[in-house]
Amino acid sequence: MMQIICYIFPAVVAVWVTESIRKQQYQLKEWVYHYFIYVISINFLISLLLSTVFTGADVYLSMGHFTHSLIVKYLGLSMILSFVLPVLFTILRNNFQLNLFIEQVNNQDVRKKRNGKK
């Protein structure tokens, strides 16, 4: 039961933080999209951090190895990430953008950069 809370709860908090930063309510589709992005990113980063920093690179984290001390570490670090990642993603989203222009030539798509080079 605690493993499920460790995996799911921080992503829910991250989506709530994202909604409050952007000052908008997400529809169900957007909410699920952001939720899965945060589940994957938070759990990957925490598993990477716990397996390399706290326990060593040779220890494999699995569902059976969750102890009380690991749950406290996991929830603590993932809750910190659930507040940091939405801010980081918002900063990246506001400062970086990708412009892609598609021009159809002879029934084929030709992707062009903004300055017009092929």
pLDDT at 36: 93
Mean pLDDT of the 5-31 span? 87
Q: Has residue 103 been placed in a domain?
A: yes
CA dihedral 100, 104, 108, 112 (to 10 degrees): -30
Whether residue 16 has pLDDT greater than 50: yes
More confident residue, 33 or 118: 33
Mean pLDDT of the 10-37 span? 89
Mean pLDDT of the 104-111 span? 60
d(C-alpha 48, C-alpha 62), whole Å: 13
What's the domain count of the chain? 1
Closest CA to 61 of 9, 11, 7, 13: 7
Degrees, nearest 5: CA angle 75-7-36 = 125
pLDDT at 70: 75
Q: Has residue 76 been placed in a domain?
A: yes
Give the tens place of pLDDT for each residue, 35-92. 999 999 988 888 787 777 766 545 555 545 667 777 887 888 889 999 999 999 889 8
Q: Has residue 118 been placed in a domain?
A: no
Q: Containing domain of residue 43, as a range? A: 2-112
What is the residue-averaged pLDDT of the chain?
A: 78
Place of tokens 């930063």: 21
d(C-alpha 81, C-alpha 45), whole Å: 9
Whether residue 104 has pLDDT greater than 70: no
Count CB atoms within 10 A of the CB of residue 46. Answer: 22
Report how far apart, in Å, the C-alpha atoms of 73 and of each of 42, 98, 102, 117 are: 13, 37, 48, 51
Closest CA to 39 of 6, 64, 62, 17: 6
pLDDT at 106: 66
Q: What does the block give as tokens for 61?
A: 């984290």
pLDDT at 47: 78
